[in-house]
Amino acid sequence: MKVAWRVWLEKDGEHLLGKGGAEILSAIKEYGSISKAAEKLGMSYRYVWNYLKRMEEVLGTKVVDARRGGAKGGRAELTEFGERVLRQYRRIEKYIEDVGRDYDSFWEAIGLKISARNKIEGVVRKIEVDGIAAKVEIEVSQPCVIKAVITKEAAEELELREGEKVYAVIKATEVMVARE
């Protein structure tokens, strides 16, 4: 038996980004051009352009900053928001792939429930990045501060900022950091 899935992001019930859209954004990021991205993906320029336009309409903001060509050709790059959407999609996709590799873990993950006993709301007080790790200090309403060591990548993906509310999720062997 094999676990199979399709991942896509929606906003207000409208399709926003799936595997093909993530490939489009990645190709634009890599080649710096909508036409080159379309060519490399074997898609028409019109299809890619319409996909981006629909995505931006659903989001209400730009995901690609495109400049028309000329003698030197045009260029396109993901906006900061476009980068964030792609990063979020890739993070979710990777998580599902990781879970899907281990059949037993898959069932544990989809059946996972977090009780109030091991989820504590707090405020990020300090973030120290050291190489690939980030130490996150969380002040909770109970009289204590929880310190967690997470990867720098995780801290960036969670877009942690000092002073914002987060949750310390406590397992028997570790403390994780989560956002709503």
pLDDT in tens, 83-132: 999 999 999 888 877 766 655 455 455 555 444 456 777 889 999 998 88
Q: Please state, in angstroms and rounded to a whole number, the distance separating the CA atoms of residues 2 and 61.
A: 38
Round the average pLDDT of the chain to a whole number and report it: 82
pLDDT of residue 101: 66
- Domain 116-178: give its CATH architecture: Beta Barrel (2.40)
**Three-state DSSP class for 135?**
strand
Question: What's the pLDDT score for residue 24?
Answer: 96
pLDDT of residue 173: 63
Report the helix count and the strand count for the chain, using DSSP H and E.
Answer: 6, 9
pTM for the whole thing?
0.57
**CATH of region 9-107:** 1.10.10.10
- The residue-averaged pLDDT of 54-70 equals 88
The answer to whether residue 18 scores a pLDDT higher than 60 is: yes
Where, residue-wise, is CATH 2.40.50.100 in the chain? Answer: 116-178
Q: With 80 as the cut, is the pLDDT of residue 161 above it?
A: yes
Residue 53 has pLDDT above 90, yes or no: yes
C-alpha to C-alpha distance for 2 and 33, rounded to whole angstroms: 37
CB 125 within 8 A of CB 162: yes
Q: Where in the chain is the domain with CATH 1.10.10.10?
A: 9-107
Mean pLDDT within 24-51:
95
Q: Evaluate if residue 77 carries a pLDDT over 70.
A: yes
